[in-house]
Structure 1
Amino acid sequence: MQVTTEYSHFHNKTRLDQNKGTTAAICVQNLSRWTEAIEEICTWPEYKPQPLRSLPLQAEQLGIGKLFFKDESKRFGASLGSFKALGAPYAVFKILAEEVFSKAGVRPTSEDLRTGKFRDITQKVTVCVATDGNQGRGLAYGAKTFGCRCVDYIHNHVSPGRAEMMKDLGAIVIRVAGEYEASVERAKADARMNGWHFVSSTSWSNFDNNIPRNVMNAYMVIVEEALQAIPVVENITHVFVCGGVGSIAAAVFLGFFTRLSQIKQSNQGRVLIPPRFIVVEPKEADCLFQSAKTGEICLSEGSLRTLMAGLACRGPSPAAWKILTWLASDFVAVPDDVAVAGMRQLAGVVSCPDHLTPVE
């Protein structure tokens, strides 16, 4: 496996620091209802556990025991194609359930919303988001499934093809001049003006807003499926997750850390060393790496022009950052050719099924 070594690395020497844990405690507490999210999503008729793939040849090349990757490419169908298909639809379900309760005084089930039982209420609700594509498709899917309107805001660098995919799922798509942050500000402004719901995984406080909390709780489905597929959870040594604003990494790391802590307690306090949790992001959009290096939230000074478009974020989610600075052991920023090499590796694996094995 031949890839460039031109990457930046920061090791978090104060990982699991007690003071950082105290700072993160409110965020962790607000993400404690992930079991509820998992149980709800597992009742959806289109739900199907997504595979954890084993890469034995790549593991041998790297000189390690086992290497796995979580394949989210078919989550709720190929048209969605990422883990974002979990968070946004679940957030839409929770938003509409609250709208129905506030107006009709009943708690609807997801099936009630799917079948249009409260269409007179839900069709008046609009959800919106700023997106590079994946979150927008997930939100449009959730809106279409549960019966409300969706508006996706995209920026200059989002391809026409991605915009069409969102429209195909029923979204109204508005292109905004500038970078991702410009589309965020426009979406938030329009949401305030029109009384819409801005659905984002970014929280500007301690997840006091239910929406990012619900988005991140839904991401815990990924952790649960992975842990069920790994025979000996205690043998996990490293967990790599993509960066962006930090929400998916914070959710996955917290999920692994919590479950391993539960295993430790069930084994009469036997010491279990947490895996190394590593955040990986593009060099041109390295807000988490830069924040780790400086010791406080800061913005990336990169161009944000990267093939890893879904990770092209200028700054971290403050609430997710509190969890990451406590749990993450390493932050790595890589150039695009690392992503290209990875895609080529996986393309070769997929074309030769013997090289790729689902974990039963």
Structure 2
Amino acid sequence: MSTFTLKMEIADNRHYNGQLSPLFTAIEAEKARAFHQAVEGYQPTPLHSLDCLANVIGVGKILVKDEAYRFDLSAFKMLGGAYAIARLLCDEFSLDINAFDFAKLKNDITEKMTFATATDGNHGRGVAWAANKLGQNAVVYMPKGAADERVNNIRALGAECIVTDMNYDDTVRLAIKTANENGWKVVQDTAWEGYTEIPTWIMQGYTTMAAEAVDQMKAMAVERPTHVFLQAGVGAMAGGVLGYLCEQYGPDKLHSVVVEPDNADCIYRSGISEKGEMVNVNGDLETIMVGLACGEPNPIGWPVLRDCSTQFVSCQDSVAALGMRVLGNPLGSDPRIVSGESGAVGAGLLAAVHFHPEKEQLMAKLGFNKDSVVLLINTEGDTDPVHYREVVWGGKHQTI
């Protein structure tokens, strides 16, 4: 077998204390899931078992929650955006979220609201989708370099989409400023002083996929995962999902690894900081993992990751590219998984460890053995199909 070395900085979390979050409980997750189940076209996304890959790598099982099948949006983000917009409208019109009805509310609303957000693509598409379903307006800001496909997908849902000449975090600031000037509602998956309720709802919306995965593992007779790999941008998805899984299984029984691109590794840098304080990353944040190109941690997600994560990983783009190729070209009877750049980084990390000349040491560092059950989340399909082909067919971002 050939070996090669990709950059993977793996740091143990020295700030771990196992304290559970009161925000991401089974009760809150069931509220969110009940809402999603009432949306027309809802189906749980698949949980694939890659048994052949697990055998080659040397673990007991690899499970992939495949969000490429989430409604017709090919990404998990709508779970948060739609849930937050529904909660906002319930507050505005004194409605019960447990009896939320898209069709009825769309007909009853006489004055349209405008929802604004900043996005790399998937979150904005989810907000645009929910606004469209409810007959509302959406204005979506995107950072420089946004792929045409992602822009067009948002505009096709009737939203205004504005591509800036700024990085993601500065684009967030622009969206907030413009929304405040125009009286729009900001639906953003990060938090700041005075803005915590909406991002909390968004993160609680993300727990639907974790709750589905727990049920699906039970149906497979899998008692629990021993490991979970969670990719992080601001850390909203990672924080919400990890908070829920730790309540389900206990943080001491779950080896959790948070993975980021090395050019936007604010969670990793926060994790290795002396006191566990949030650390921002500046600059262009250039990475193929555009969904993770965020330089400022979410203040709601970070405490969960600080308290309950086992390890933090900062890796180069080629790790994600490797994951895209591994998932798209399966071994034996394993199913083919179409995964975008941000969705594939967990699988890429597994593969990069397997091909590393120091595999045994890395496997030990990550706590792997022949009985390990590894849960990955493919957060997106080929939402940028041109780049997907460039990586999977054209060999862009080579490993050797």
Same fold, TM-score > 0.5, yes or no: yes
Structure 1 equivalent of residue 140 of structure 2 = 152
Contact 1:234 1:260 (8 Å CA) reproduced: no
Q: How big is the shift at 1:119? A: 2.8
Distance 1:3 1:158, change over 3 A: farther
Contact 2:46 2:69 (8 Å CA) reproduced: no
Given the alignment of the two structures, is residue 306 of structure 1 paired with residue 307 of structure 2, yes or no?
Answer: no
Structure 2 equivalent of residue 217 of structure 1 = 204
In the TM superposition, 1:1-360 aligns within 5 A as 4-16=5-17, 21=19, 28-32=21-25, 33-77=28-72, 80-101=73-94, 107=96, 109-111=99-101, 113=103, 116-121=106-111, 124-204=112-192, 209-231=196-218, 232=221, 234-261=223-250, 273-294=252-273, 295-301=276-282, 303-349=284-330, 354-356=333-335
Q: Specify the code of the residue in structure 2 equivalent to 1:285.
A: A
Q: How big is the shift at 1:115? A: 6.1
Contact 1:283 1:302 (8 Å CA) reproduced: no
- Equivalent residue of 1:67, what SS? strand
Counterpart Cα distance in 1 of 2:127 and 2:65:
22
Q: Specify the code of the residue in structure 1 equivalent to 2:83.
A: Y
Distance 1:189 1:236, change over 3 A: same
- Equivalent residue of 2:329, what SS? helix
Contact 1:132 1:155 (8 Å CA) reproduced: yes
Distance 1:3 1:98, change over 3 A: farther
- Equivalent residue of 1:166, what SS? helix
Distance 1:4 1:129, change over 3 A: farther
Counterpart Cα distance in 1 of 2:154 and 2:225:
37
Q: How big is the shift at 1:110? A: 3.1
Counterpart Cα distance in 2 of 1:74 and 1:235:
23
Q: 38-47 or 8-17, which moves further after superposition?
A: 8-17
Distance 1:151 1:65, change over 3 A: same
Counterpart Cα distance in 1 of 2:324 and 2:242:
24
Distance 1:302 1:332, change over 3 A: farther
- Equivalent residue of 1:193, what SS? helix
Distance 1:303 1:208, change over 3 A: closer
Q: How big is the shift at 1:328? A: 0.5
Contact 2:328 2:336 (8 Å CA) reproduced: no
Q: Specify the code of the residue in structure 1 equivalent to 2:239.
A: A
Q: Specify the code of the residue in structure 1 equivalent to 2:215.
A: Q
Q: How big is the shift at 1:164? A: 0.9
Query: Structure 1: any 5+ residue segments left out of the alignment?
Result: 262-271
Q: How big is the shift at 1:273? A: 4.0
Counterpart Cα distance in 1 of 2:136 and 2:190:
22
Counterpart Cα distance in 1 of 2:22 and 2:266:
25
Contact 1:125 1:149 (8 Å CA) reproduced: yes
- Equivalent residue of 1:68, what SS? strand
Contact 1:89 1:138 (8 Å CA) reproduced: yes
User: Normalising by structure 1, what TM-score?
Assistant: 0.85
Contact 1:100 1:107 (8 Å CA) reproduced: no
Question: C-alpha offsets along residues 190-243 of structure 1, whole Å, 9 cap, x if unaligned?
Answer: 1111111111111225x9632111111111111111111113554421100111
Counterpart Cα distance in 2 of 1:11 and 1:244:
19
Larger RCO: 1 or 2 (CA < 8 Å, sep 6+): 2
Question: C-alpha offsets along residues 80-138 of structure 1, whole Å, 9 cap, x if unaligned?
Answer: 2111021101111111222222xxxx5484325456331313xx200011011000100
Q: 299-308 or 170-179, which moves further after superposition?
A: 299-308
| Bigger helix share | 1
Contact 1:286 1:302 (8 Å CA) reproduced: no
Counterpart Cα distance in 2 of 1:191 and 1:303:
24
Contact 1:305 1:312 (8 Å CA) reproduced: yes
Contact 1:134 1:310 (8 Å CA) reproduced: yes
Distance 1:221 1:303, change over 3 A: same
Query: Structure 2: any 5+ residue segments left out of the alignment?
Result: 338-374, 376-400
Q: How big is the shift at 1:165? A: 1.0
Question: C-alpha offsets along residues 237-287 of structure 1, whole Å, 9 cap, x if unaligned?
Answer: 1100111000111111111111124xxxxxxxxxx9421111011011100
Contact 1:281 1:334 (8 Å CA) reproduced: yes
Distance 1:356 1:183, change over 3 A: same
Distance 1:290 1:112, change over 3 A: closer
Counterpart Cα distance in 1 of 2:256 and 2:179:
35
